[in-house]
Structure 1
Amino acid sequence: MQRYFIPPGQLTASEAVVTGDDAHHIANVMRARIGDSIIVSDGASREVRATIAELGKGRIVAAVAEELPMTAEPGMRVTIAQSLPKGDKMETIIQKGTEIGAVRFIPFLSERTVVQYDAKKETKRLERWHKIAKEAAEQAHRNRVPEVEPPQTWKQLLQSVREADAAFFCYEKEAGTMLKRKLRSAIEARGGANGMNVLLIVGPEGGFSEREAQEAEAAGCVPVLLGARILRTETAGLVGLTCLLYEAGEMGG
C-alpha cells in the first residue's frame, strides 16, 4: 500500500487531503481509483489508512478509515553530521540513512572538505535533499521524514554537540577505541537507549585534521573507530548508523 506524507493541517479526524506531486503520483502514476486505500502520515503524531473518495486535478481527498500505530521510528535518535562530499554522494547518504533510521542530517564544511560550497545554490539543493528524504521515508515506511539542515561551519556543528546525549566522531587515527564499546558505556550511563539523542560526525574524503580532532574532543565528542578497515566518507556514516541502531536493539539486536 502506497504511503504519503502531508502537512498536519491536511489530515483531520475524518479526511486526508493530498496535493501537489503526490496527488499526481496517486492519480497518474499509480492510476488509483475511488475506493482504493492509501496510507497517509502527517509526519508528526498521526498515521492513517484512508479510502480515496475524490480524485481531482492536483488534489486527492481520502476518508480516514483506520488510525495506525506510530511504531516505525527508532527509540534512539541518531543524527548524521556529514562533511560535504563530492558529487551526489550526499544524496546517497540521505537516502540510505533515511532508510536505515537516521532522524536528522547536518551537512558541514570542514578543513579538508573538497567540494566548493556555493551558497547561491543552497535553496535548490536543500529542496532536493528534502525531497530525497521524503521519498526514502515513504519507501521505508517511516512515520516521520528526517530533518535535513542547511550546511553549517565546523564551529557551528561543534555547538550542536551540547544537544546530544552522546556525540561520536569517526577518526581513523584513534587506536583501538571501537564505536560499540563507547556506545555501550554511554547507554549504561544514561540508563537505556530509548529516547537517547546521538550525534555521529563523519569527516570528508581526506578525513579530519589533528586540530579538528582536538577541537571535537574539547567540545565533548568521543573519537571512535568503525573497524580495522578505512571506509569511504559516504560509507562511514551508514555503517556507523547501522552499528548504533543495532546496539540499541533496533535492527534485530
Structure 2
Amino acid sequence: MQRYFLDEPVTTGQQLNLDATTYRHWVRVLRAEVGDQAEFVDSTAHLFHGELTRVTDDAATVTLTAVSTPAVELPVSVTIACGLPKQEKAEWITQKATELGVQHIIFFSGDWSVAKWQGNKVAKKLTRLNKIAAGAAEQAHRLIRPTVSYADNLAAVLQTPVTTTLVAYEESAKQGEQSALNQQLTHLRPGDSLLTIFGPEGGISPKEIQMAQQAGAALVGLGPRILRTETAPLYLLAAVSMVLELQQPR
C-alpha cells in the first residue's frame, strides 16, 4: 500500500483534502479511484488508512482511520555526520541511510574534504536531499522522515546533543581493533541517541580526531576492511539494527 507523510496531526474519522503533491502522485500517476486506500503518517508518527472518497479534476478527499503502529523505527535515534563526499554520493547516502533507519543526517565540511558546497547553493542542496529522504521514508514504510542538514565544520557537529558519540576511524581498523563498536552499541538502551562521524574521501584529520576525543567521542573500527565514505554509514546502521533489533528477545 502506498504511504504518504502529513505535516499536521490528524484524527480517526477526519476528512482530509490531499495536498497537490500527493494528489498528483496517487490520483494522477498511480490512477487511484474512489474506494482505494493508502497509508498516511501524521506529524506525530501515527499511522492511518485513508480511503479515497471524492475525486475531482484538481482535488481529492480521503477519510482517515487510525491503525496500530508497527515497530519499524530503530530503538535508538541515530545521527550520521558525513564529511562532504564527492559527486552525487550525498544523495546516495541519504536515500540508503533512510532505508536503514537513520533519523538525522549531517553533511559537514571536513579538514580533508575534497568536495565543497558553495554558500549560495547549500539551501538548494538541502531541499533536494530532504526530498530524497522523504521519498525513501515513504518507500521504506517508515514513521519518521529523517532530516538532512549542513555544518561548516566538525566542531559544529560535535555540538549535537546525544547520549553517545563515535568516530568511524580507519586507523582503528588497520590496527586490528574489532570490538569497540560492538561494546559501544551493546551499552545503548531504547530511547538513547547515537551520533557517528564519518570522514570524507580524504579521511579525518588528526586535528579533528583530537577534537572529537576531547568532546568525549570514542574511536571505533568498522570491521577489518577499509570502507568507502558512502559505504561506512550503511555498515554502522546495519550494525545498530543487528545489535539492537535482531538480537534482542521479542
TM-score w.r.t. length of structure 1? 0.90
Residue of structure 2 equivalent to 1:110: 110
- Take 1:73 and 1:107, find their aligned partners in 2: how far apart are those partners? 22
Matched, 1:74 2:74: yes
Q: How is 1:221-232 mapped onto 2 (pairs within 5 angstroms)?
A: 221-232=217-228
Residue of structure 2 equivalent to 1:216: 212
Matched, 1:184 2:161: no
TM-score w.r.t. length of structure 2? 0.91
CA deviation map 1:99-122 (0-9, x unaligned): 010011011111001112211111
Matched, 1:244 2:235: no
- Take 1:80 and 1:185, find their aligned partners in 2: how far apart are those partners? 15
Give yes or no for contact 2:133–2:146 (8 Å, CA) kept in 1. Answer: yes
Matched, 1:86 2:124: no
Give yes or no for contact 2:3–2:139 (8 Å, CA) kept in 1. Answer: yes
Give yes or no for contact 2:181–2:222 (8 Å, CA) kept in 1. Answer: no
Give yes or no for contact 2:180–2:221 (8 Å, CA) kept in 1. Answer: no
Give identity over the alignment, percent.
33
CA deviation map 1:66-110 (0-9, x unaligned): 433152211111111111101110111110000010011011111
Q: How is 1:9-88 mapped onto 2 (pairs within 5 angstroms)?
A: 11-13=10-12, 14-88=14-88
Unaligned runs of 5+ in 1: none
- Take 1:251 and 1:152, find their aligned partners in 2: how far apart are those partners? 37
- Take 1:81 and 1:164, find their aligned partners in 2: how far apart are those partners? 13
Give yes or no for contact 1:91–1:132 (8 Å, CA) kept in 2. Answer: yes
Residue of structure 1 equivalent to 2:203: 207
Aligned-partner SS, 1:65:
strand
Change (3 A) 1:231 1:186: closer
Give yes or no for contact 1:112–1:207 (8 Å, CA) kept in 2. Answer: yes
- Take 1:31 and 1:252, find their aligned partners in 2: how far apart are those partners? 42
Change (3 A) 1:199 1:53: same
Change (3 A) 1:54 1:250: farther
Question: Number of matched residues?
Answer: 246
Aligned-partner SS, 2:126:
helix
- Take 1:125 and 1:220, find their aligned partners in 2: how far apart are those partners? 31
Q: Residue type matched to 1:3 in 2? A: R
CA RMSD after TM alignment: 1.9
- Take 1:64 and 1:107, find their aligned partners in 2: how far apart are those partners? 37
Q: 2:163 aligns with which of 154, 162, 165?
A: 165
> More displaced, 58-67 or 222-231?
58-67
Unaligned runs of 5+ in 2: none
